Chain A
């Protein structure tokens, strides 16, 4: 039974990871964009240490959010163009299963590298060690939410002309709460109140998104191929 459920999930996950590996250039662009945007800030606002330390969480979070947006339109576009999406929708397995697999693969490829790069980049801003951990943890909890919410937007704008711009307009407002609690976690830690509340909220948000977003995504994909 478990194998029957996991079979299609793993097949989609494995395929998407393999595709990402074969087209690595596309993936590296997202990470490079994240690193460059973060590095631009010290040039723009000056190298005053206290100031850099204060803006670090916000800068890293906004950069992560924009890089996520950069790769979102690719999530379903290729499969839609070559007909794979039709075949997946004709699968007797539950749609949410492979949608979750696709989003997971997408996050592993585009979100996880940002989480891993974040501590190194935060050092450029002279963020202290405890805050470094909180920042990384907030990104680790928050970036999958971005991927899940973004996937709904990507499915809704699939096949539309100018879909990329529409996608940004659609999902950026939805990203705001994640940004507030993500960047807020570090500020709360530095302010002495502790980051637990913020991180718990992010964790709750992640579970909520994980439970609901695949269903919304599946419904939007069915509409997109009609």
Chain B
């Protein structure tokens, strides 16, 4: 589904990694590993098309993601470091906007259901600024439940600030997505109870 050839990433004037090849198929989960600062987030941003690689190519279903931006982004769900949450809006408003802005319109009841499933049923009407870190994280992750139609999920440290039960829930959701034929690429330093152990890509091997 997604493949990258000979990727090199330059950050400022430092070469983070080069000669990176990766290949993920439908139903596969890939965990990008490596110490802090090795370029995990940079790699995910390149794979999403948010950042430009210094060298190499990223292809989605055989086509360059920069040429096929629209169809690629229709298939992609990216949950990054930043929560994409506005403090003045409620979790429900934030979630509905996040969906609407990317061209989905799941409707209010589906959004409420997703928030209840992620454990924010009580907080839907509070402004986001009063939420805790873990709760803010959950609002972003609630989109997972509304994005079953998007096969390719890219998650940057999705487990950060979540409690043990939420980590287990999320791991189940991700495994379920892969079983249904989706693809997940994620970074994490935590061990999570995935149904099937993810393939690991260690960036330390290609770091400069």
Interface residues of A (CB under 8 A from B): 4, 7-8, 11-12, 15, 18-19, 22-23, 78-79, 81-84, 86-93, 98, 225-226
Contacts and interface: CB of A to CB of B under 8 A. Distances in A.
B78 A87 contact: yes
Interface of B: 48-52, 69-71, 73-74, 76, 78, 80-89, 93, 97-98, 100-103, 105
Interface of A is mostly: helix
Nearest to B76: A90
Given A22-B88, A90-B76, A91-B103, A82 B83 contact: yes
A83 B80 contact: yes
B103 A90 contact: no
A15 B100 CA distance: 10
A145 B105 CA distance: 32
B51 A86 contact: no
A18 B80 CA distance: 25
B73 A225 contact: no
Given A19-B89, A226-B50, A83 B101 contact: no
Contacts, number: 81
Q: Which 8 A-B pairs have the closest CB atoms?
A: A83-B82, A11-B100, A83-B84, A92-B74, A92-B73, A22-B88, A91-B102, A87-B84
Interface of B is mostly: loop
B76 A18 contact: no
A83 B50 CA distance: 12
Contacts of A79: 86
Contacts of A11: 97, 100-101
Contacts of B70: 92
Nearest to B140: A83
A82 B97 contact: no
Given A87-B98, A226-B50, A92 B83 contact: no
Contacts of A92: 69-71, 73-74, 102-103
Given A18-B93, A86-B82, 16 more contacts: A4-B103, A7-B103, A12-B101, A22-B88, A81-B82, A82-B84, A82-B86, A83-B83, A86-B78, A86-B80, A86-B84, A90-B78, A90-B102, A91-B73, A91-B101, A93-B102
A15 B73 contact: no
Contact of B51 (A81, A82, A226): A226
B81 A83 contact: yes
